[in-house]
Amino acid sequence: MEADLQAAHRLARSSRAQLAAARAEVGANLGIARSQRRRQGLSAILGTLQQLAGVSELHGALQCAPSRGRPAPHGAERSPAGGFRATEPLAASVGRSREERMHAQRHELCVRVR
């Protein structure tokens, strides 16, 4: 009878040790998963910022184009100041497109960060 109690005690101690090790491993894995989700969210934000930088560069190039004697892009006309001015339908279309794209990117970032 005492041998059975000692065996049960050893088994219980061993089981507790295994549970503690499993708990520690699960905690570590949860931390890794959180870090990975955060990195993915930050990478998405970085990608968006890189796209915005590209748009800014293109915008700068378009503003410099009149001084180089290039024709105005389709849907734009030359302004008296020497740059380009978008015609009203083009400006409205570009504005709507930009708002829709930014809304979609914000939504996507919120989903990724969660």
Residue 14 has pLDDT above 90, yes or no: yes
Radius of gyration of the chain from its Cα atoms, rounded to whole angstroms:
30
**Coil/strand/helix, residue 100:** helix
Answering whether pTM is above 0.75, one says no
Beta-ladder partners of 84:
78
More confident residue, 25 or 111: 25
Assign 20 a pLDDT band (cuts: 50, 70, 90). Answer: very high
Q: Which helix (H) or strand (E) holds 28?
A: helix 2-64
For 35-94, how does the pLDDT look when each residue is reduced to its tens digit (9 = 90+)?
Answer: 999 999 999 999 888 888 888 888 777 766 555 555 545 445 555 555 555 556 666 666
Token pair in block for residue 63: 């503003």
Tell me, what amino acid is at 114?
R
At 102 the pLDDT is 79
